[in-house]
Structure 1
């Protein structure tokens, strides 16, 4: 009677199958994933099929990115114009960063893309009547349309006066152009230049001091310049203290991480 050879263990046969199929298929799915690992193992010393330590390491997570800094309404040209204008309204100085560094242009962009830019909560249906002088200009344009019209006019006025677009002229020339709008010396197709300047200035200041969740006030630097505590959960343990207490500000996003 012939002696039968013992059966190979199941694990051993599976390893050989993977090894040979990976070698044969090369760059196909098995060769690209499993075969690539096996091929590496074969070229190194050590038990067959052993996975090297580097193959089991957890891949490093990508660097954190500020996804709030993404355009939703402006074109690149409009964004550059509003960024330059906001920086002249709230410039960087010894007290801290200016509008550009604080990301104010992103705040304005996001506002124009949302309900505020569409005047969603306001009555915008004709007939329109001329307002009294004490009432100011009553908008017939949506804010997003007025802002886009004003930015185009900034560039046109800068081109006429200084032969270049607003973002490319000197800071002194930019101040001169903005002053002309502030003094209502520019007419935007029937809309007073002051109306555009007023909304741009208000949006700039809002972007400096709004919660970073809305795109501006980057790193809460606007609050830090004012020693403003931001959105603290409670002051119960501090409210009765007589001395001034300076605390690190908290944003709405911080509360999500603390909860």
Structure 2
């Protein structure tokens, strides 16, 4: 058999395989831009230019805790002052984490970013009475505005009296400034010092013990320190038990699948 006939014979033998491959490429869209154009279809059927698809598509990045993102405080310095202040109100000790470890600053940040921080559902018209009770909220400023004024005044007073930023002071020095704020010895614009301090303390405690869904009480550690079972629908299965029952803590997150 001549060389020409041998080549023709070889081409005829390979023709079914070539037709099959051509049909596959046409139907899959690879020729029309599957691989070249970005590979949307190629990602479904497999990319021949990728050695290890499983490895390349695997996300090695650590999971982020999206509750720990700022929504209200736009200045880092304001948030650092807030962290230092709430940690002095609810410090870490042998029982467990303090306000920072429990995520209280982020809880406060999220509360101030919403309707609570803007006093959306509160009556905010005058007249404003003189503050007689520490828990009384008497100001035309929103809670968000009160926090910005109070936090920045803490820092300004720290710079004035200690020549250092509030979050750089020792704990005892921070306490002195907070006590002066609570006593009304530090003047604020549009709001009394005790009003700001009471709001700061109230929201610190709320952040330590509120449901983790709202950004505080991280890992339900606040409840753990109080031996609180969390948010449960009922105790009918335990009410007749004679022994003390230690039950698993549950958050509102546990009911959302």
Out of 9, 13, 20, the position equivalent to 1:11 is: 20
SS of structure 2 residue aligned to 1:191: coil
Deviates more, 1:154-163 or 1:241-250: 241-250
Summarize the Cα distance change of 1:16–1:83 in structure 2 as closer, same or farther, 3 Å threshold.
Answer: closer
TM-score (norm 1): 0.80
Unaligned runs of 5+ in 1: 41-51
Q: C-alpha distance in 2, partners of 1:163/1:56? A: 57
1:90-134 CA-to-partner distances (Å, cap 9, x unmatched) read 000000000001110000000101111111111112x31424735
- 1:16 offset after TM fit, Å? 8.6
Quote the residue 1:67 is aligned against. Answer: 66
| C-alpha contact 2:106 2:216 (8 A) present in aligned 1 | yes
Mapped to 2, the partners of 1:87 and 1:132 lie a distance apart of: 26
Match of 2:116 in 1: 116
How far 1:254 sits from its partner (Å)?
A: 1.1
Match of 2:127 in 1: 128
- Corresponding residue SS for 1:202: helix
* Matched residues, number: 236
CA contact (8 A) 1:210 1:216 kept: yes
- Once the two structures are overlaid, the 10-residue window that deviates more, 130-139 or 110-119, is 130-139
Cα shift at 1:246: 1.5
Distance 1:171 1:133, change over 3 A: closer
User: CA, structure 1 residues 111+8, in 2 after alignment: closer, same or farther (shift >3 Å)?
Assistant: same
The 8 Å contact of residues 107 and 214 in structure 2, kept in 1 or not, is answered as yes
Once the 2 structures are TM-superposed, how far is the Cα of residue 178 of structure 1 from its aligned partner? 0.6
Alignment correspondent of 1:48: none
- Deviation of the 1:185 alpha carbon: 1.0
Cα displacement (A) at 1:32: 7.0
Could you report, residue by residue, the CA deviation over 1:177-214 in whole angstroms, capped at 9, with x for unpaired residues?
Answer: 11111122111025221111100000000000000111
SS at 2:139's partner residue? coil
Q: Hey, what's the Cα distance between the residues in 2 that align with 1:222 and 1:173?
A: 26
Task: Provide the alpha-carbon RMSD of the alignment.
Answer: 3.0
Query: Residue in 1 aligned with 2:188?
Result: 188
Q: Counterparts of 1:184 and 1:119 in 2: how far apart (Å)?
A: 23
Partner of 1:161: 161
Q: Specify which of 30, 34, 57 is matched with residue 36 of structure 2.
A: 30
User: Is residue 2:89 matched to residue 1:89?
Assistant: yes
Q: 1:182 to 1:16 in 2, by over 3 A?
A: closer
Shift of 1:227: 0.6
Judging changes above 3 Å, is the alpha-carbon distance between structure 1 residues 242 and 72 closer, same or farther for their aligned structure 2 residues?
Answer: same
Decide whether the 8 Å contact of 1:158 with 1:164 is kept in 2: yes
**Aligned 8 A contact 1:131 1:137 in 2:** no
Gapped regions of structure 2 (runs ≥ 5)? none
